Chains A and B, each alone.
Chain A
Amino acid sequence: MSNVPKGVLTAVKKVRGGVKVDHHKNTADLEVVRMDTPQKVVIPMQMNIGAPCEPVVKVGDEVAVGQLIGDTDKFVSAPIHATVSGKVTAVGDIKMPQGIMSKAVTIESDGEMRLWEGIEPPKVDSREDFIKAVRNSGLVGLGGAGFPTHVKLNFPPDKGIDTLVINAAECEPYITVDYRECIDNSWDILSAVYMIKDMLGFKNVVIAAEDNKPEAFKILKRIADDKEDVNDEVKLMVLESKYPQGAEKMMVQSATGRQVPPGKLPADVGCVVMNVASVAFLSRYMKTGKPLVSRSLTVDGSAIANPKNVRVPIGTNIGEIIDFCGGFSQDPCKIIMGGPMMGVSLVGTDFPILKQNNAILAFAKDDATIKEETDCIRCGRCAAACPLSLTPTNIVRAVKAKDTSVMNKMGVMVCMECGSCAFSCPAGKPLVQYMRLAKSMLREEAAKK
């Protein structure tokens, strides 16, 4: 980070701790390829943080790409659309990777990928129109969290929200789809950045990327320097490559120096953070009206024959995607949905791709061994690695003692489960597990009151 070009910001307040993880950005130079239309998609009704949708189609219905198939009147949710054209063959419960059940709509594809006739570019004349259009697009945060975007953007104009942070950090190893978005769809990013800025009245826009992506950097710099930005309110920020630089709270801190208080959202400190792929999608949606029906993801790992960046209809079976990437080159020992630091390990490949999945990683035995757990030696590496100033080893003690008052005092609820602590632990403790356990104990206690 020695030579930061002129006009490029650096972090206002640096991220504490964190860990240096090997980047493994093997697929960075591979353009996103479109997968052949799958014969069948299974579209879960729970693909976002918040309320699940209810199916609005029934078995036997003919649907086309972009047609609404699931919706709800709950606020924190996003509608779901058919991702292939064809016939609805099942509406029922399926098991999700985390073990929970979700309703899902199965569509048998007719192979035509026929667009729904009702698709037209949204008319946006006002802020309200814009938010409504964002909701209709079905967009959720594509970076992994899956928070409905219209909820994020729906803040009152007088709330004092001044900064939009565009997150292109992509700090998880292996994943390169955001990077590809910057390289391949820079025009979409450009137009979306200025559209969102004007629509919602952000004073500052900070586009943040890590310093290990020089190519993306050049492009993002051009976006920040665009002539449309007359008052130089759109800036590029370069961040040291370290995990978890791209976490939302870390983004807000780097861009503005503000810290999101426990239990609050970035909006409470005047910021909105959006993933770069989400932003680019919005631009395309405003032009075409085609809702979120497909997404790009990185397929990589030592057990994948031909690692690729692929664009697939949402609901495509993971096994089929792996087959598209040449199948397994050696026996997989661990398959992860998402990045290796925060992703969920799967029991098999018979799961559909969700809106927020940015990667499928499959690892052979050597990369998938589970570290042997030994006794804690209180070395403090977990505390040093925690970007949120927690002391995991002491929280583990409190969890073992079931002492909820100590857990509360230690700020367990602040934890974002980034896994930096567990990564650094020489004793191989499942610290994220302990954190989740602590959180559920605290939630249980709060529910009792």
Chain B
Amino acid sequence: MINGKMLNVSISPHLRTTVTTRRIMLDVIIALCPALIASTVIFGLRALLLTLVSVAACVFFEYIMRKILKKNNTIGDLSAVVTGMLLAFNCPSGIPFWMIIAGDAFAIIIVKQCFGGIGQNFVNPAIAGRIFMLLSFGQMSKWTQPGAGFMNLGGVEALTGATPLAASAEELPTLTDMLIGMRGGCLGETCILAILAGGLYLVIRKVISPLIPCVYIGSVAVVMLIAGKGDFTYTAYQLLSGGLVLGAVFMATDYTTSPISKKGKVIFAIGCGLITCLIRLAGSLPEGVSYSIILMNIFTPLIERLTTPKPFGTPKKEKKAKEETA
């Protein structure tokens, strides 16, 4: 007590970083903006509108659920906004609004809040929401094509067509079109350049480590190069199509559902890459990114247990010897 005022007494350290969860989520939102702008240009205002509806729904469900569960309000940490954006990015822009709201409800209510809220979900809410929608609504795999008109806000009549992964050679967009996103697909996944710009921002801001995206995309490249018997064009199409880059940069790097240690991250990312390839090459589904990430999410606790680094000064051999004698 000094001059009649109580002093703050707290445990060390008395200095703390200025980084907060909110700041991290804000960085992710900023990083998603280039892709959002690109999708609006490519698919029209409808894409933007769908994203906004999705964000609003996620925030609403988060707020309501915290109220019902009598927990503190967490919409301020902005994680629900990120989930809303990511789920919208994983949908064709032409789907009806009620559909994405259903997906948002599944993601936030079931996957996130029923398991304890931020940091407790065992799979990525946006991916789980997307898979829920894929399984429930056939319209989810009718990819909206670019050029439906910038002002065309009605979704259902929008042009749909096959994703490049399932298209025949003549229908394929050029590689340049693939890179800038002039192709059919989910609204946020097509413009690779915009996604990479966002990813770069996150790496520079030290929000994510480049390890998972690089290893994930790298392992897909290696497998596809082998599967395509050294055909670089084939491999390039494989890397640029589907939700691979979006998934690798924004979904596989989710803190809660990926391992903490470097070694764990590498194993996780290789696993994602291999399952993606397996589904694309041998499965009946055209796209495998969501499923591969959700499967590796489930493996994360196991990977983590196997890759926890040895505490400082613990000799490897001695520990083994001790275990054997015990």
CB within 8 Å of B: which of A404-449? 410-411, 414, 417, 419-420, 422-428, 430, 432-433, 436
Type the 1/0 row for B1-33, where 1 means its CB is closer than 8 Å to any CB of A: 111010111111111110111011000000000
Complex interface: stretch among B213-221, B226-234, B242-250, B312-320: B312-320
Asked if A262 contacts B20 (CB within 8 A), the reply is no
Report which B residues bind A (CB closer than 8 A): 1-3, 5, 7-17, 19-21, 23-24, 74, 77, 79, 117-120, 255-256, 260-261, 304, 308-315
Bound Cα distance A347, B15 (Å):
18
Q: Is the CB of B119 within 8 A of A340?
A: no
Main secondary structure of the interface of B (DSSP, over half): loop
Give, as a whole number of angstroms, the nearest-CB distance from A13 to chain B. Answer: 11
Roughly how many angstroms separate A95 CA and B71 CA in the complex, as a whole number? 39
Q: Which residues of chain A in 320-361 are interfacial with respect to chain B, using CB atoms and an 8 Å cutoff?
A: 328, 331-336, 340-349
Is A370 touching B312 in the complex (CB atoms < 8 A)?
no
Question: A-B pairs with the 5 shortest C-beta distances?
Answer: A411-B311, A419-B13, A388-B312, A380-B260, A259-B313
A21 contacts across to B, CB distance below 8 A: 15
Given A331-B3, A383-B261, do A426 and B311 touch, yes or no (CB 8 Å)?
no
Tell me the nearest residue of chain B to A303, going by C-beta.
B2
CA of A368 to CA of B7, assembled, Å: 9
Query: Complex formed: what's the CA distance from A403 to B320 in Å?
Result: 22
Which A residue sits closest to B4, measured CB to CB? A331
- Flag whether A374 is at the interface (Cβ < 8 A): yes
B256 touches A410 (CB 8 A): no
CA distance A388 to B14 in the complex (A): 20
Q: Does any Cβ of B come within 8 Å of A6's Cβ?
A: no
Inter-chain CA distance A413–B188, complex, in Å, is: 47
Measured between C-beta atoms, what is the minimum distance from A381 to chain B in Å?
8
Which residues of chain B are near A260, meaning CB under 8 Å?
A: 312-313
Q: Which residues on A sit within 8 Å (CB–CB) of B117?
A: 375
Q: Give 23 A-B contacts (CB < 8 Å), ordered by A residue.
A: A173-B15, A331-B3, A333-B5, A334-B10, A335-B2, A344-B12, A346-B7, A346-B9, A347-B1, A349-B2, A368-B8, A375-B74, A377-B118, A388-B312, A391-B309, A414-B312, A414-B314, A422-B11, A423-B15, A426-B19, A426-B20, A427-B20, A432-B13
| Residue of A335, A346, A422, A428 touching B20 (CB-CB under 8 A) | A428
Please determine whether B255 and A379 come into contact, CB atoms closer than 8 angstroms.
yes
Task: Decide yes or no whether A257 CB sits under 8 A from chain B.
Answer: no
Known: A332-B7, A345-B10. A426 touches B309 (CB 8 A): no
B13, A340: Cβ atoms closer than 8 Å: yes
Do the beta carbons of B255 and A262 come within 8 Å of each other? no
List chain B residues, Cβ under 8 A from A425.
16-17
Q: Given A261-B314, A378-B119, A423-B15, does the pair A391, B261 have CB atoms closer than 8 Å? A: yes
Q: Does A135 contact B (CB under 8 A)?
A: no
Given contacts A376-B119, A378-B256, A379-B255, contact A348 B15 (CB under 8 A): no
A94 CB-CB contact with B under 8 Å: no
**Other-chain residue from B7, B12, B13, B120 in contact with A347 (beta carbon distance below 8 A):** B7
Task: Give the chain B neighbours of A259 by CB distance below 8 A.
Answer: 312-313
Q: Given A374, A410, A422, which contacts B13 in the complex, CB threshold below 8 Å?
A: A422
Contacting residues, chain B, for A381 (C-beta < 8 A): 19
Q: How far is the CA of A343 from the CA of B14 in the complex (A)?
A: 8
Which size bracket describes the interface of A in this complex?
35 or more
Please report the C-alpha to C-alpha distance between residue A341 and residue B260 in the assembled complex, in whole angstroms.
24
B15 touches A262 (CB 8 A): no
With A345-B8, A374-B21, A375-B117 as contacts: A336 and B256 at CB distance below 8 Å:
no
Please, which residues of chain A bring their CB within 8 A of the CB of B256?
377-378
Q: How far is the CB of B133 from chain A (nearest CB, A)?
A: 25
Do B17 and A426 touch across chains, with their CB atoms under 8 A apart?
A: yes
Q: Which residues of chain A are near B120, meaning CB under 8 Å?
A: 375
Chain A nearest Cβ from B117, distance in angstroms: 6
Residues of A within 8 A of B3 (CB): 328, 331
- B314 in contact with A411 (CB, 8 Å): yes
Q: Are A410's CB and B7's CB within 8 A?
A: no
A234→B308 CA distance, assembly (Å): 38
Contact A333–B8 (Cβ < 8 Å): yes
Other-chain residue from B11, B17, B260 in contact with A423 (beta carbon distance below 8 A): B17
Q: Taking chain A's interface residues, is the majority helix, strand, or loop, or is none over half, making it mixed? A: loop
Q: How far is the CB of B134 from chain A (nearest CB, A)?
A: 26
Cβ distance B238 to chain A, nearest Cβ, rounded Å:
30
Max chain A Cβ within 10 angstroms of own Cβ: one of B17, B24, B119: B17
Contacts of B8 in A (CB 8 A): 333-334, 345, 368-370
Are B17 and A424 closer than 8 Å at their CB atoms? yes
Chain B's closest residue to A415 (CB) is: B311
| Option from A328, A340, A427 in Cβ contact (under 8 Å) with B14 | A340
For B2, give its contact among A336, A348, A422 (CB under 8 Å): A348
**What B residues does A419 contact at CB under 8 A?**
12-13
With a cutoff of 8 Å between Cβ atoms, the chain A residues found around residue B13 in the complex are 340-342, 419-420, 422-423, 432
Are A347 and B261 closer than 8 Å at their CB atoms? no
| Smallest CB separation, B62 vs chain A (Å) | 13
* B82 shortest CB reach to chain A, Å: 11
Docked complex Cα distance between A238 and B10 (Å): 34
A379 touches B11 (CB 8 A): no
User: Which residues of B sit under 8 angstroms from A264, Cβ to Cβ?
Assistant: 313
Contacts A332-B2, A388-B312, A391-B308 known; A426 to B21 CB distance under 8 Å? yes
Contact of A389 with B11 in the complex, beta carbons under 8 Å: no
User: A394: CB under 8 A from chain B?
Assistant: yes
Contacts of B21 in A (CB 8 A): 374-375, 377, 426-427
Known A-B contacts: A347-B1, A348-B2. Give 15 more (CB < 8 A).
Answer: A261-B314, A328-B2, A333-B8, A334-B8, A335-B7, A340-B12, A341-B15, A345-B9, A346-B9, A368-B8, A375-B117, A424-B17, A426-B23, A430-B10, A432-B12
Residues on B with C-beta less than 8 A from A424 are 17, 19
Within the assembled complex, what's the spacing in Å between the Cα atoms of A368 and B2?
14
| A:259-287 near B, CB below 8 Å | 259-262, 264
Contact between chains at A375 and B119 (CB < 8 Å): yes
For A412, give the chain B residue with the smallest CB separation: B311
Nearest CB in chain A: distance from B15 CB, A: 5
A371 at the interface (CB under 8 A from B): yes
B residues in contact with A411, CB < 8 Å: 310-312, 314
Provide the bound-state CA to CA distance between A425 and B24, in Å. Answer: 12
CB pair B308–A410 under 8 Å, yes or no, is: yes
**A315 contacts B by Cβ under 8 Å:** no
Return chain A residues, CB-CB under 8 Å to B119.
375-378
- Please measure, in the bound complex, the distance between the C-alpha atom of A411 and the C-alpha atom of B11, giving whole angstroms: 21
Question: Do residues A262 and B311 form an inter-chain contact, with CB atoms below 8 A?
Answer: yes
Provide the residues of chain A in CB contact with B2, threshold 8 Å: 328, 331-332, 335, 348-349
Decide yes or no whether A249 CB sits under 8 A from chain B. yes
Cα separation A131 to B60 with both chains bound (whole Å)? 71
A380–B255 contact, CB under 8 A? Answer: yes
